[in-house]
Amino acid sequence: MSEAPTRPNRGYGRWTPAWFLAPAVLALLLIGIYPTIFALVTSFRRYNITRPRDGFPFIGFENYISVLTDSTFWSSLFLTAQFYVTVLPIQIMLGLIIALLLHKPGMGLLKSLARVTLVVPLATTYAVVGLIGRLIFNRDFGVANQLFEAIGVGKIDWLSSPTGAFAAIAIMDIWQWTPFCALIFLAGLSMVPGEIEEAARLETSSKLALLRYVQLPYLLPGLTAVMILRSADVLKLFDMVFVMTRGGPGSATDLISIYIQRVGFRIFDLGTASAQAILLLIITIIISRLYIRLFYREVH
């Protein structure tokens, strides 16, 4: 018997896929592409919104030269690098330990609850993390000082001292992003073939050898992704730090995003702020390419 001819779907035409893609493309253009192009164009202009009568003349690379010769910009960038090298190794180590514990066989219900719990910090917005940090590190009624007093240590004025404020924002960032590292590493460990891992466990009792020679190749793609995403995230980290310390005391937590916000929305020099943002974008791309070249390996 011959098959009955299929009726054409009258609701599906040549442009149907385009209509489904249009909302996402439009959102990408409005939220991602247009602001980037606007910042790039603005970075080549004298663009101060408090002096509209002066116009917005094209000044070439003058904003970039001003940024590159600005000592405060480099100080904020160096402080951001310090923050990055402080939090990332801790997040990677803690995330790897958590992932290895969750990868062990057994404890099915407990592991499921742990995975759900890991999502909570990631689902918390930066501003809320900052508010939680202000409560935890409050000098008078904060949980941190209550714990220190319980063990006989006096109160610490966390948010009013340079070292304490830097430590406070680092601790909150570690709390928020360690679960992300753990979930990425757990996904990498789940890609290890079971028979290879079981054979390796029979061959050696060293967990370090198992991690290095069997599991590490499957963790490197995830490690590369973590380093790239965290580099970009630290360079644009604003909400949490602004809510907790506003860049203070002094310039102790004046990360590069805080400084750019101050130039753009307090001094209202959008031309210089745009040049700083474009330079950060270039730095992020360079760092990402370096991470891919140094750490990324395909698993065959």
Rounded to a whole number of angstroms, the CA Rg of the chain reads 25
The amino acid at residue 39 is A
Q: Where are the domains of the chain?
A: 71-266+273-295
User: pTM for this structure?
Assistant: 0.88
Write down the H helix ranges in the chain.
Answer: 16-28, 34-42, 62-68, 71-103, 108-123, 126-136, 143-150, 162-190, 194-203, 207-210, 216-235, 239-244, 256-265, 270-295
pLDDT computed for residue 26 by the predictor:
94
Write out residues in the chain with pLDDT < 70, as ranges: 1-11, 299-300
Please list, in sequence order, all residues whose beta carbon lies within 8 angstroms of the beta carbon of residue 296, skipping any fewer than 6 positions away.
220, 221, 224
pLDDT digits (tens, 9 = 90+) for 239-294: 999 999 999 898 999 999 999 999 999 999 999 999 999 999 999 999 999 998 98
Secondary structure of residue 48 in the 3-state scheme: strand
| pLDDT for position 11 | 62
Q: Domain 71-266+273-295, what architecture?
A: Orthogonal Bundle (1.10)
Q: Distance between CA 83 and CA 86 in Å, rounded?
A: 5
Residue 230: per-residue pLDDT: 94
